[in-house]
Structure 1
Amino acid sequence: MTSVVIVGGGPGGYEAALVGRQLGADVTLIDSDGIGGSAVITDCVPSKTLIAAAELMTEVGRANELGLMLRDGVRPEGLISPDLTAINQRVKGLAMEQSADIEERLVRHGVDVVKGFGRLDGSGAVVATTPDGGERRFEADSILVATGATPRTLPSAMPDGERILTWEQVYDLAETPTHLIVVGSGVTGLEFASAYLALGIPVTLVSSRDRVLPGEDADAAAVLEEVVTRKGMTVLGRSRMASVTRDGDTVTVTLEGGQSVTGSHCILALGSIPNTAGIGLETAGVETDKGGFVTVDRVSRTNVRGVYAAGDCTGVFMLASVAAMQGRIAMWHLLGDAVSPLDVWKVSSNVFTSPEIATVGTTQQQIDDGTYQAEIVMLPLATNPRAKMKGLHDGFVKLLVSPGSGRVVGGVVVGPNASELIHPVSVAITARMTADELAQAFTVYPSLSGSVAEVARRLHHFDR
């Protein structure tokens, strides 16, 4: 029986462990922070639970437009207000329940779950330092490193866990912010800024770039920035943070130009650093890049035979879904099962703002800079009958199609539940479908997904 030791219990680690047991390996999983990792305990599950509360506030805010009022002409949104303490209690409760469910499943399938800090001892063993200070050594035929990443901080902007916070610390807020400053206009920063804005909290976003979400579709980012600005968010573009300081109940963010903005709380969304220091990679000879991320190929192999890596510690595509797939691919490869190398082009991703932004495949930027060629059609969501019924005005569906074959090569959806609406586009790309084939699949009328089919129909060429 092949022995596999996995260091890290996030999606890359626990999904790999389940596959390893399915294929008959003897699997030990060593974890120090809680099964599920940051995705379950401090990042994806908590943030999306918080966002779920914000989404309901947004829905209620549209009630009057749909003709809904309580008796005596009172608007529903006037009767609802967020209890951040209760929201955070639910957030943390659901995270811990999910973590416990995953651990129970691992144990039920025969994975040896060890609580401790794992470090490689060469390429054939892992030593776990347990909570009582003891050590346990595990020999391994193969090792998977899946240690994740943590929020990046700067000496000039150090979190205190009370008013200057990383995104992992927001769920311990003891009071509702009176003015929240979010530093960083990437995905994480925008998700929190959008959520707290929807909960009725004044938000200022500090962005060092000329637009929000610089890594996302430019049309989608423009829609989102217009929406959040219309809803009252202050967006400080081209404003690089120099420092964040606290004086009592006041937090001051000083910008490089000398200007400053004050608030009651600040969330730092400055990116992530890999958890690769002190885990024995150098001893084992495992290569990392200048940022500390483990270098892997498309089947999750490192440069050292028998040592694999998966998830955020590789920096390949920092999504829970990608981490899980990297972990599965590693097990399939090392245990000799059929395996397809990771293809990040097929990865669908989502920004959980209001509205959501979902993308997959080739991007508009790649078309604009000449990397690829594609025909593009974009249809405003406001033209969709179901959107009109629901009082939705912001968003669009965009499809990118190869000019020769008519094959769908990319897509963007902006709107409520974009994370669900992107799936047919993702399937079309994976199955190498043409726009005509996508258009000919039935959609429900009326439905928001009907816009996906409508855009595909508009890409039809009689002579193709």
Structure 2
Amino acid sequence: MADNSFDIVVIGAGPGGYVAAIKAAQLGYKTACVEEGNLGGVCLNIGCIPTKALLESAAMITHLGHAKEFGVTVGEIKTDMAQAVKRSRQVSERLVKGIGFLFKKNKITHIAGRGRLAGKGQVEVTGKDGKAQPVQAKHIIIATGSRPRDLPFLKIDHDRVWDSTDAMMSKEAPKTLAIIGAGAIGCEFADVYAAFGTQVTIVEMADRVLPLEDRDCSAVVEKSYRKRGMNVLTGVKLEKAEIGKGGVTLTITDAKGKTQTVEAERVLSAIGRAPLVEDIGLEKAGVKMTDRGFIAVDRQMKTNVEGVYAIGDVAGPPLLAHKGSHEGVACVEAIHGDPHAGINYENIPNCTYCHPEVASVGLTEEQARAQGLDIEVGTFPWTANGRALTAGETDGFVKVIRDKKYSEVVGAHIVGPHATELIAEFVVGRHLETTMEEMDRAMHPHPTLSEAVAEAALASLGHALHI
């Protein structure tokens, strides 16, 4: 093959793209990955990883505030947003360098520049100098990711109106911050800025925070946020925004038509993300899109154009890093001829890393009942778990929804300490079609948070031991 000719070319080096490239190289394909920014995409550079580093800083502040209860006396707690951001960048940079190492280890060619489809089996890559070079490939995988959305009357200006990147990079915590949207991004940044002393107001159109999660989990987070002094406004509509020299004035109305205004030094737009599908040659190549603006793909991530695939955020929701990574592997396995390649979209875990943490997999209780399933719900509170009590983290519970017919896990929902780690047990259980009896009979060590998983399973069977 010529130097610019490959078996597989991946456009985008985020958690979907770089994983797809590594998997392709491991299977013996000559592989290239085109990326105009840093390796790692949004997730490693300005998303998942640095955000979680800031959340760890926020958790540290909260823990120190309760140190006296644990027999530790500390002086005045002073926060330093600039240092927290600096640390988050260091964590991010370390992981980005790690991807570079993995590319070299697996002999993957990194082509710096913007990739565009340019005809059958061709990608045109334009570098920062404006020069374009052609690259040939038998298979092209599009993994360009997504960007923050904004509202027509509240455009992100990176000054008064922030996107998630602005919120992540700010070296000073504003005195007041209004967050539009109470999904995972909104709730995580609310946690961070409240810990650093900002008066936070959350504005959410749905009737609760984290509207995609189980209603009972949402209630725990909202109660915790209100207790911490946050102003949580749910079931409201943002009507207009006036940007002034000193801040932003938001006008909102509730379900009854009552109007109120919110003054904030900064506003964070956290209303979701849109796929990055512009200027990558999709129209020219004839790639079909969905009615929501994503690239249309089949179970093996194939588009309607032969030899062109799409994975990750551009291929549709949920817009999650781990979903993109698994799609990358499934896509390459399909190219390799595995007839079983694909993703079980009903078993993708959702995680929100605010405090208390929220994690889930499968159906919510409302969804299960709406589908007419014959279910039994088991809940085990952290107040009855020894390990949670010793850590002083007792807000929340483990909730399991059991299908009575086969005793399988229809859905699992955790709100509280290390929820995002514990949910993996249910993901594996669902993958293996485990029954609730098996979840309980698998011995869980004591004292651990994982015991609550077994107890919730028992509760769904009607005979929990410790409540």
TM-score (norm 2): 0.93
Deviations 1:102-150 (A, max 9, x none): 1221122111101101110124111011111100111111110000000
1:83 is aligned to 80
Deviations 1:61-88 (A, max 9, x none): 332333x242xxxxx3x52222001111
Aligned with 1:233 (options 230, 233, 238): 230
In 1, are the aligned partners of 2:388 and 2:417 still within 8 Å (CA)? no
CA distance in 1, matches of 2:235, 2:432: 41
Deviation of residue 170 (structure 1)?
Answer: 1.6
Aligned with 1:129 (options 114, 126, 130): 126
Aligned with 2:199 (options 202, 205, 222): 202
Gaps of 5+ in 1: 71-75
- Residue 61 of structure 2 aligns with an amino acid whose one-letter code is M
- Further displaced range: 270-279 or 236-245: 236-245
- 2:248 aligned with 1:251, yes or no? yes
2:309 is aligned to 308
- Further displaced range: 3-12 or 259-268: 259-268
In 2, are the aligned partners of 1:312 and 1:323 still within 8 Å (CA)? yes
- 2:94 aligned with 1:102, yes or no? no
CA distance in 1, matches of 2:318, 2:72: 45
- 2:52 aligned with 1:48, yes or no? yes
CA distance in 1, matches of 2:444, 2:274: 43
Map 1:349-360 to 2 at 5 A: 349-360=350-361
1:3 is aligned to 7
CA distance in 2, matches of 1:167, 1:46: 11
1:277 is aligned to 278
1:65 is aligned to 69
CA distance in 2, matches of 1:51, 1:174: 15
- Residue 252 of structure 2 aligns with an amino acid whose one-letter code is L
Deviations 1:28-64 (A, max 9, x none): 1111121110011111111111111111122223323
CA distance in 2, matches of 1:360, 1:176: 34
Question: Considering only aligned residues, what root-mean-square deviation do their CA atoms show, in Å?
Answer: 1.8
- Further displaced range: 362-371 or 40-49: 362-371
1:28 is aligned to 32
Aligned residue for 2:210, secondary structure, equals coil
1:115 is aligned to 112
- Further displaced range: 112-121 or 387-396: 387-396
1:348 is aligned to 349
CA distance in 2, matches of 1:338, 1:57: 50
Aligned residue for 2:236, secondary structure, equals coil
1:140 is aligned to 137
Deviations 1:223-255 (A, max 9, x none): 111110111110112222233343223222232
2:149 is aligned to 152
CA distance in 1, matches of 2:146, 2:83: 28
Deviations 1:357-396 (A, max 9, x none): 1101232122121353321111111111222222223100
Q: CA 1:200–1:371 in structure 2 vs 1: closer, same or farther (change >3 Å)?
A: farther
Deviation of residue 401 (structure 1)?
Answer: 1.5
In 1, are the aligned partners of 2:331 and 2:342 still within 8 Å (CA)? no
CA distance in 1, matches of 2:313, 2:372: 27
Deviation of residue 414 (structure 1)?
Answer: 0.8
Gaps of 5+ in 2: none
Map 1:361-440 to 2 at 5 A: 361-440=362-441
Report the count of equivalent residues: 455
CA distance in 1, matches of 2:169, 2:86: 9
Deviation of residue 266 (structure 1)?
Answer: 1.4
2:166 is aligned to 169
- Residue 207 of structure 1 aligns with an amino acid whose one-letter code is E
CA distance in 2, matches of 1:422, 1:195: 23
Aligned residue for 2:216, secondary structure, equals helix
- Further displaced range: 341-350 or 214-223: 341-350
Deviation of residue 160 (structure 1)?
Answer: 2.4
Deviation of residue 161 (structure 1)?
Answer: 1.7
2:179 is aligned to 182
Deviations 1:302-328 (A, max 9, x none): 122211100111123111000001111
- Further displaced range: 90-99 or 111-120: 90-99
In 1, are the aligned partners of 2:401 and 2:460 still within 8 Å (CA)? no
1:73 is aligned to none
CA distance in 1, matches of 2:284, 2:446: 60
Aligned residue for 1:422, secondary structure, equals helix
Aligned residue for 1:141, secondary structure, equals strand
Give me the identity figure in percent: 34
